[in-house]
A and B are shown apart, each in its own frame.
Chain A
């Protein structure tokens, strides 16, 4: 049977259908080519949008550690609890257990949520204690969610707050080293593209758009033990003398590293409430007229001329001197003394006589070499350079007052830097707060002169000196007391700054300490009475903690008993 042979279709109709099919398929192919090859993005995007997600990879801020690796600032994830009012208010009986766990009033929560019932996101409490967060989680309430956030903790609290500073709620540094090294500490959050299934589970990671970079850790030169010791002693001294504020700086002589830097008043960086008075790192940002602690630098300048030696006699009779109509006086009439006793007794008259003998340019140059009037270069926010006027504008009386520390403003850190240079045979090092900073010393003073001045400074803690209270048992201590009247709008007020700057052990100095007590109101205000005892306490602890061998130990030497058997180990 061959039906095809029985019926012959007209050829035209056949070709007509063929043409129609051909056109249809051409149209389809063209559309397919258009979508698949030419205009690929459209389908691709539409498809991907249905399952691809871009997810931020969070990263944490680097820790801040002390010189021994002890943590001073640590970021740790904590949970914050938020609710969807619409969902929670559907089951109001759930509010009571939630309020119980959070330790707040249930009615209060309900009121807040009702007020915001048209929203979908309300923070209930941010940064919960981990235990509380676990309890909230275990309640498993409808419409209550936990969100991970990083929170920064400062385990040493107010002891390190000025140096380290703090961050704001978005983890950005606001003060101190948190601000200065923000870029180093802060990580860069990454971005990854993933495929998720219907239930929100990650099925496949398509690509890492941006690698997340965790923040770097920052190692400080601060020693947490010394920091605590200095802080404790400073706080008790400030309380005892009713002082307005105070600072202590400890510097390692041979590296220029800041071992401790504390100030009063302080604040606890772990809590939000801080008043602006306590925020400043006074040791770096605040300047003051140093008073007699500047005398060693005037003496160093005099020794450099070669016209003065430690034994050059100076007659300070009758205990005061007149310079351009201003009277400069000593506490007592010291009579004829020499340059060494100028330092021992802290004679303003003798210092004046020396200063007036010096070329202003030379005296300015000496002060300048010691770093006065220059920023110390720690990069600390708000660092002050102090004030040292150019010698061309010095009046005669100004040159005289500069020798005993008036008419010049310095920071506690500058003073420590300058004393460290005296202690280390005239080698000046820029103070550093961060470990690993390249810190080559520059020679600014003849080593012989530096040794001579150091020897003079040692007499200050000697039997006739003004700084006997700064002594440290079993160690030789060099230093200088200072008591300066504070300048006010109406000349110099009867308010004082008591200071002591020094180093120990004198035979081979390791640690420089500077103590500044601002406006003590308890009657005593001399540097030798207020600041020197604090220096002694802090230095005693510092030398012990740093294992510095004593250099003054007559009377405590014992001969080791020879072992009966065995041998010398």
Chain B
């Protein structure tokens, strides 16, 4: 009789522990899911930012843009004729 009571108590404790465990794991997983959602949003935001930066860079590096800058603001010109030299190794 006594031994059966002990077994019953142990089983009861185990059941309660496992139930608490389930509750805890559930809670954890929900927390993780929220975190995942936030990180995914953040990732999407970074991807969006990246595409915007790419566009900005493409616009800044646009050949016509650079050409205007080089020719008009910096007074640069194409090297022509004798300015190009072929150097032979001695």
A204 near B30: Cβ-Cβ < 8 Å: yes
Interface residue? A313 (CB, 8 A): no
Q: Which of B33, B59, B64 contacts A203 (CB 8 A)?
A: B33
Is the C-beta of B19 less than 8 angstroms from some C-beta in chain A? no
Does the CB pair A155–B55 fall under 8 Å? yes
Q: Residue A60 at the B interface, CB < 8 A?
A: yes
- The reply on A121 being an interface residue by CB < 8 A is no
- Residues in B with CB closer than 8 Å to A562 are 90
Determine if B63 is an interface residue (Cβ-Cβ < 8 Å): yes
CB-nearest residue of chain A relative to B58?
A155
Interface size class of B (residues with CB under 8 A): 20 to 34
CB pair B90–A559 under 8 Å, yes or no, is yes
Are B63 and A130 in contact (CB-based, < 8 A)? Answer: no
Give the CA-CA distance A127 to B33 in the complex, in Å. Answer: 31
Enumerate chain B residues within 8 angstroms of A225, measured Cβ to Cβ. Answer: 63
Given A76-B51, A205-B36, CB of A553 within 8 Å of CB of B86: yes
Whether a CB of chain B sits under 8 angstroms from the CB of A156 is: yes
Q: Are A74 and B51 in contact (CB under 8 A)?
A: yes
A9 interface contact, C-beta 8 A:
no
A130 to B56, CA, bound (A): 13
Contacts A74-B55, A130-B52, A204-B33; A556 near B62 (Cβ below 8 A): no
Contact A229 B58 (CB under 8 A): no
* A114 within 8 Å of B (CB atoms): no
Q: B87: which of A130, A156, A555, A558 is its contact (CB, 8 Å)?
A: A558
Q: Report B-chain residues with C-beta under 8 Å of the C-beta of A77.
A: 44, 48, 51
Minimum CB distance partner of A225 in chain B: B63
The residues in B between 60 and 90 inclusive whose CB is less than 8 angstroms from any CB of A are: 61-64, 80-82, 84-90
Task: Return chain A residues, CB-CB under 8 Å to B82.
Answer: 555-556
Instruction: Report Cα–Cα, A77/B47, bound state, in Å.
Output: 9
Tell whether A202 is near chain B: CB-to-CB under 8 Å: yes
Chain A residues positioned under 8 Å from B34 (CB to CB) = 201-203
**Are the C-beta atoms of A224 and B33 separated by less than 8 Å?**
no
A319 interface contact, C-beta 8 A: no
Q: Which of A46-71 contact B (CB under 8 A)?
A: 60, 63, 70-71
A229 closest partner in B (C-beta): B63
Would you give the 0/1 interface string for A192-212, flagging 1 where the beta carbon is closer than 8 Å to chain B? 001000000111110000000
| Residue on A nearest B80 in the bound complex, by CB | A473
In the complex, are the beta carbons of A70 and B58 less than 8 A apart?
Answer: yes
Q: Which residues of A contact B29 (CB under 8 A)?
A: 204
Q: Verify if B54 is at the interface (C-beta below 8 Å from A).
A: yes
Is B90's CB under 8 angstroms from A224's CB?
Answer: no
Number of residues on chain A facing chain B (CB within 8 A): 36
Q: Which of A120-165 contact B (CB under 8 A)?
A: 130, 153, 155-156
Whether B88 and A74, one on each chain, are in contact in the complex, defined by CB atoms closer than 8 angstroms, is: no
Q: Give A75 to B50 CA distance when docked, in angstroms.
A: 10
Q: Provided the pairs A204-B30, A204-B33, A224-B63 are in contact, do residues A557 and B54 lie with their beta carbons within 8 angstroms? A: no
> In chain A, residues 190-247, which have Cβ atoms closer than 8 Å to a Cβ of chain B?
194, 201-205, 224-225, 228-229, 232
Known pairs A76-B51, A473-B80; A205 contacts B58 (CB<8 A): no
Interface of B, secondary structure class, is helix
- The answer on a CB contact under 8 Å between A556 and B86 is yes
Tell me the complex Cα distance, A390–B88, Å.
54
User: How far does the Cβ of B26 sit from chain A's closest Cβ, in whole Å?
Assistant: 8
Contact A473 B63 (CB under 8 A): no
Knowing A76-B48, A205-B36, say if A71 contacts B86 (CB, 8 Å): no
Q: Mark A66-100, 1 if CB is under 8 A from B, else 0.
A: 00001100111100000000000000000000000
Asked whether, in the complex, the Cβ of A228 is within 8 Å of the Cβ of B88, the reply is no
Mask of A238-274 contacts with B, CB within 8 angstroms, 1/0: 0000000000000000000000000000000000000
Q: A228 contacts which chain B residues (CB < 8 A)?
A: 62-64
B37 at the A interface (CB under 8 A):
yes
Partner of A560, one of B47, B51, B88: B88
| Interface residue ranges of A513-569 to B (CB < 8 Å) | 550, 553, 555-562, 568
Instruction: With both chains docked as a complex, state the minimum distance between the C-beta of B56 and any C-beta of chain A, in angstroms.
Output: 9
Whether a CB of chain B sits under 8 angstroms from the CB of A117 is no
- Indicate if A474 sits at the interface (CB-CB under 8 A): yes
> In the bound complex, how far is the Cα of B61 from the Cα of A468, in angstroms?
35
The answer to whether A202 and B37 touch across the interface, beta carbons within 8 angstroms, is yes
The interface centre, meaning the residue of A204, A232, A473 with most chain B CB atoms within 10 A of its CB, is: A204
Which single residue of chain B is at the shortest CB-CB distance from A155? Answer: B58
A229 to B66 Cα, complex, angstroms:
12
Give the nearest-CB partner of B51 in chain A: A76
User: Complex: how many Å from CA A156 to CA B33?
Assistant: 41
A358 to B64, CA, bound (A): 50
Q: How far is the CB of B2 from chain A (nearest CB, A)?
A: 32
Q: Which residues of A contact B33 (CB under 8 A)?
A: 194, 202-205
- Which chain B residue has the least Cβ–Cβ distance from A65? B54
Is the beta-carbon distance between B54 and A71 smaller than 8 angstroms? Answer: yes
**CA separation between A402 and B64, bound complex, in Å?**
42
Given the known inter-chain contacts A228-B63, A232-B64, please indicate yes or no for A559 contacting B88, CB distance below 8 A: yes
Residues of B within 8 A of A473 (CB): 80-81
A561 to B85, CA, bound (A): 13
Q: What residues on A are CB-neighbors of B62 within 8 Å? A: 155-156, 228
Q: Report B-chain residues with C-beta under 8 Å of the C-beta of A70.
A: 58, 61
What A residues does B54 contact at CB under 8 A? 63, 71, 74
Report 23 cross-chain contacts, Cβ distance below 8 Å, ordered by A residue. A63-B51, A70-B58, A71-B55, A75-B51, A76-B48, A76-B55, A77-B44, A130-B52, A155-B55, A155-B59, A156-B62, A202-B33, A204-B29, A205-B33, A205-B37, A225-B63, A550-B86, A553-B86, A556-B82, A557-B88, A559-B88, A560-B87, A568-B89
**6 shortest A-B CB distances, which residue pairs?**
A155-B58, A228-B63, A76-B51, A204-B33, A202-B37, A77-B48
Given contacts A75-B51, A557-B85, A560-B88, 6 further A-B contacts (CB under 8 A): A60-B47, A74-B58, A201-B34, A203-B34, A553-B86, A568-B89
